[in-house]
Amino acid sequence: MPSALFSIIDVFSTTPYKGNPLAVVDVRGQDLTDTQMKLITRQFNLSETTFFFPPTLPGADFQLRSFLPYGWEVYGAGHNILGVWWHLAHANLLDFSKPDTRAGSTEEFTFHQELGGEVVPVKVIRQRTDPNDTPQFTIAIRQASPKSHAAVHTDPSAVAAVLGLTASDIGFPSAPKLLPQIMSTSTTHHLLVPVSSVDALNRAVVSRDKLVEQLDLLDSRAHGIFWFTPVAESDGVATFHARFFSRGMTAEDPATGSAAGPLSAYLYRNGVVRSDEEGKVRILVYQGLKLGRQCVIEVRLAVRGEELDVDIVGGGAEVAKGEIELPALSTAF
């Protein structure tokens, strides 16, 4: 049977087995149907699987498509996209002959991805202290401008019930009136919920039925719930611990870039973080700690009048690679 090459990349960590695992499937030269990609995604049973193809739009280097295990195709730029670009760099599938900038042992390159019918730039930073050493790669991805939706949840008790918490656990001690809200980037919507402490963050146990009920009540487009709390700053950078659970995932997600990016906008618009004199904000989001992972998502926000630009930044580590047989065309999802 025909097969495709794949790699498992731990994203948002440079330590194997500590990041958010992503299946990356090389389908260049293959003509896969949507059903075949959904079947492969369900077989890996990770939070997401991403396929890369030759581009179909001018200016793009690769076309990317990402799926959830239950069959939804997603277009938000999180670990599903950052992990692919880390793999492309690590596997030497990119042209590194013309850096945009070079400063000592660090070079920055710009590539372009085709995702959801749009072509957008991606930054790849390569660091190599010795020509004979394996280079280290960091990826910076510009997300679609984050949007704050009118769906603000005004019933802390109902949200708390989703998480197995009490109403007093919702909100920050420094900002008790901060309310849960639907935020989005591209077509990916999540319910963001501030909680009062690391203890509350870790005590939470999601009720899937109540989660689906509350998401449908607020915005049926919402994928999941992202709850977070502030911790001590890291080298002067506002830092948060977070967790995420989706209606479409079989387990908690160790790192959720499509929620961490909009989080920066939520915090900025609610006055929790402030921009510097250049209109820039930087936050760090630690996620997956409850699962024995240690994912670090760096989020960079730039204020342009009423518009906000958001980049998510991180690295990866390869933990497995091989071949997977392609499903027969007759196999139903």
Which whole-number Å values give the CA distances from 24 to 14, 44, 48, 119, 242, in the listed order?
17, 10, 9, 20, 25
Which residue is catalytic, options 48, 107, 114, 252?
Answer: 48
* Helix-helix angle 79-90:257-269, to 10 degrees: 120
CB-CB neighbours of 64 under 10 Å: 23
Q: Which helix (H) or strand (E) holds 280?
A: strand 280-287
| Cα–Cα dist 149/29, whole Å | 41
Residue 143 has φ and ψ, to the nearest 5°, of: -85, 160
Reduce the secondary structure of 103-161 to three states and give it as a string. ECCEEEEEEEEEECCEEEEEEEEEECCCCCCCCEEEEEEEECCCEEEEEECCCHHHHHH
Is 233 catalytic? The answer is no
Q: Where on the phi/psi map is residue 305: left (φ > 0), alpha (ψ -120 to 50), or beta?
A: left
Nearest to 279 by CA among 257, 250, 302, 296: 302
Nearest to 31 by CA among 56, 61, 49: 56
Beta-ladder partners of 192: 181, 226
Contact indicator for 196, 220 with CB cutoff of 8 Å? no
Residues involved in catalysis: 48
